[in-house]
Amino acid sequence: MDFTGPLIAMAAVIVSCAHRHEQHAGGHPHTHGRGCGHPAIAHDGHTGYLHEGHLHCVHAGRVDDHVIAVNGSNPNRCTPNHGPGEHPKDHGHGPNCGHPAVPHGDHTDYLIDDHLHHKHGDHCDDHGKVDVKP
């Protein structure tokens, strides 16, 4: 029997659901924690800190780069009718837009209040709510 097709499909599901937890490359002189000045997001049972386009989480004395998983709460879907009151229609999310960048699945979203926003063509997609900590 040839199991190649089902194995490839299963591998794709596993990869799409996996959380990336990689040790942050290079030195990291800043200590993340409550009141460190970076937006904090609770995910996967712990808190990560948004810093220069990364979601930094401290584990066993090192800083790891994490990613918000694509799932039912934080989908990667097109929502062209996302509320126009969220920000001006001509506002484009991207580097230096004024919103913290959030790694989400295989792309970057931007944190607006407690929601992930993603620039998609001529509109902004809503990629769900996250648990932002004070």
Q: Residue 15 — very low, low, confident or very high, per pLDDT cuts 50/70/90?
A: very low
Angle CA(105)–CA(130)–CA(106) in degrees, nearest 5? 10
End-to-end CA distance of the chain: 55
Q: Residue 19 — very low, low, confident or very high, per pLDDT cuts 50/70/90?
A: very low
Mean of pLDDT over the chain: 78
Farthest-apart Cα atoms in the chain, separation: 58
pLDDT of residue 27: 60
User: pTM of the full predicted structure?
Assistant: 0.75
Q: How far apart are CA 127 and CA 78, in angstroms?
A: 8
Q: Closest by alpha carbon to 50, among 63, 36, 39, 34? A: 39
